[in-house]
Chains A and B, each alone.
Chain A
Amino acid sequence: MTASDAITIEQAAKRYGGLQAIAPMSLRIKKGEVVALIGPSGAGKSTLLNMLAAIELPDTGTILLDEKTTSLYRNPKDLAKKAGIIRQQFDLVGPLPVIHNVLAGKLADWGFWKSLWSFIFPQEKQAAMKALERVGLSDKIYDRTARLSGGEQQRVALARLLVQNPEVILADEPVSSLDPARAKDIIQILVSLAKSENKTLVASLHSLDLAKMHFDRVIALRDGQIFFDRKSDTITTEDLTQLYQLTEQKQNAT
């Protein structure tokens, strides 16, 4: 039943120099699935998400977004409709006011002249306002983005994603610099958005509680490989102990 796959990974692998960031792996994620990606740091979570967003391409194997190989999305606008990603801070244009960073989510819909015009008179301000309200930042709309705290910047990035409104939402540790209450809020926004509009969500998290509480499926990565891939309610403490157990770092061998 590939017809309902949002994401199909076929033997995709990625190396950085001598380091195998992602070993050949295969994986399917259906439309509307809400998936958490966990694993120790350096496991390859960011690399995998970047490949799903077509920011990076796999060295070998293929990644299909809605049946189409990521490298074949010639038009960035089509890709932006399919998949959107939020990553950690440093991902926004710091010198611009918050509103322009949020409206960047509309660039796929806008032509050059409209985007130029929007610099002076922000276009579709309502959409930006709504998204900022949803992440609790409506009072910072004209602030210089670089002046915001790390957590606030993560929320601006989320507002931009809401405005972009892609079919597949990718999130790389979207709550890493937020306090627990705010983190729960943001995850709930992401999950409810995915569920109410039948979007696919793949988020990497370092909080296992959040992963188990809000996500249906949990994929654990370790050393660039899938360590386990389960329904979240079947994961035991033992699985997690094994996942995070320290071993000598094999990667440094080469």
Chain B
Amino acid sequence: MQHKLMYFHSKTILTIVMLLTFIASLFSVEWGGELVHAGGWTTMLQMIQGMLQPDFSLEILKLAFMSAWITLAYAVAGMTLAVLFGFVFGVLSSGILLKNRGASHYAVKNFFRGMLGFLRAIHELVWALLFVAATGISPFAAIFAIAIPYSGILGRVFSDIFTNVPEKPLQSLRANGATRLQQLLYGYLPFAAPDLISYAFYRFECAIRSSAIMSFIGLGGLGFQIQLSMQDLHYDEVWTFLIFLIGMVMIVDLWSQMLRKRLVA
């Protein structure tokens, strides 16, 4: 009882500290009139006009379609690598393949946890800049820039999903003589699959956005086109490209919902 009470208190204290930090941060923002700069209002108006009348000329649509395709291709390739690595690292850092809870168990777990932390410490945009600087503008720069941090993020979340699988059925599998790999197959995966898939899809959406943004630095794709049109102040074109981006994200979301429904049904 004493223990539980202490635990409860320490949680409440932590919550209060976090709330105070949040409130303090609100005061450190300057809420002055400078939030929107002088010429800002006219630009904003132009943007709204563009939103109401996007440029749907055949030429722009074709361009948008091609760029969307490139953006999607980078995202798919990057995510495929990230899911593979994230899965392997996630399994290893969750410790579910490791036998006893000895020192070596924690050493292995922490090693892979550390690796995952390292992978996701650096933002994909920074990776993209580094790769472009090193290898020039190439699709690989975009693909690896997505794959590296996303492996780290997926691995971390996959690992948590695996450790949250109900314990009792796994105990029974062990009592049935299942090895660790058999437990992964017959226990961890069936329980974790819906969550793994829906999280991977959510990350896939993020990868599409990242892939679009990354093309700002010269790698082809929707972001690159958005940047060009912005420079020319063609906001109606910008909106066409944005609509393609939004459309892609929405399609991925629908697809993931359909898949999840089938798995959970």
Contacts and interface: CB of A to CB of B under 8 A. Distances in A.
A222 B187 CA distance: 35
B175 A84 contact: yes
Report whether over half of chain A's contact residues are helix, strand or loop; otherwise say mixed. mixed
B172 interface: yes
Contacts of A77: 177, 179
A104 B168 contact: no
Interface string B44-69: 00000000000000000000000000
Interface in B168-210: 168-169, 171-179, 181-182, 185-187, 190-191, 193-194
A79 B166 CA distance: 22
Given A90-B166, A90-B168, A96 B174 contact: no
Contacts of B176: 80, 84, 104-105, 107-108, 160, 164
Contacts, number: 83
B186 A107 contact: yes
Given A85-B172, A87-B172, A93 B190 contact: yes
Contacts of B168: 87, 90-91
Contact of B175 (A53, A94, A115, A119): A53
A93 B186 contact: yes
Interface string A44-76: 000000000111000000000000000000001
A100 to B, nearest CB: 7
A155 B3 CA distance: 39
B165 to A, nearest CB: 10
A244 interface: no
A112 B175 contact: no
A79 B182 CA distance: 16
A226 interface: no
Interface residues of A, number: 35
Contact of B171 (A55, A80, A100): A55
Given A90-B168, A92-B169, A93-B169, A107 B178 contact: yes
A115 B175 CA distance: 16
A95 interface: yes
A76 B186 contact: no
A78 B181 CA distance: 17
Contacts of B169: 90-94
A108 B185 contact: no
Interface in B130-186: 166, 168-169, 171-179, 181-182, 185-186
A238 B166 CA distance: 42
Contacts of A119: 185
Contacts of B175: 53-55, 76, 79-80, 83-85
B177 A107 contact: yes
Contacts of B191: 93-95
A116 interface: yes
Contacts of A81: 177
23 contacts: A55-B174, A76-B179, A77-B177, A78-B177, A79-B175, A80-B175, A84-B175, A90-B168, A90-B169, A91-B172, A93-B169, A93-B173, A94-B191, A95-B191, A104-B186, A107-B173, A107-B176, A107-B186, A110-B182, A112-B179, A112-B181, A116-B185, A160-B176
Given A96-B186, A107-B176, 16 more contacts: A17-B3, A55-B174, A76-B177, A76-B178, A80-B176, A85-B172, A91-B168, A91-B172, A104-B173, A104-B176, A104-B178, A107-B178, A107-B179, A110-B182, A112-B185, A164-B177
Interface of A: 17, 53-55, 76-81, 83-85, 87, 90-96, 100, 104-105, 107-110, 112, 115-116, 119, 157, 160, 164
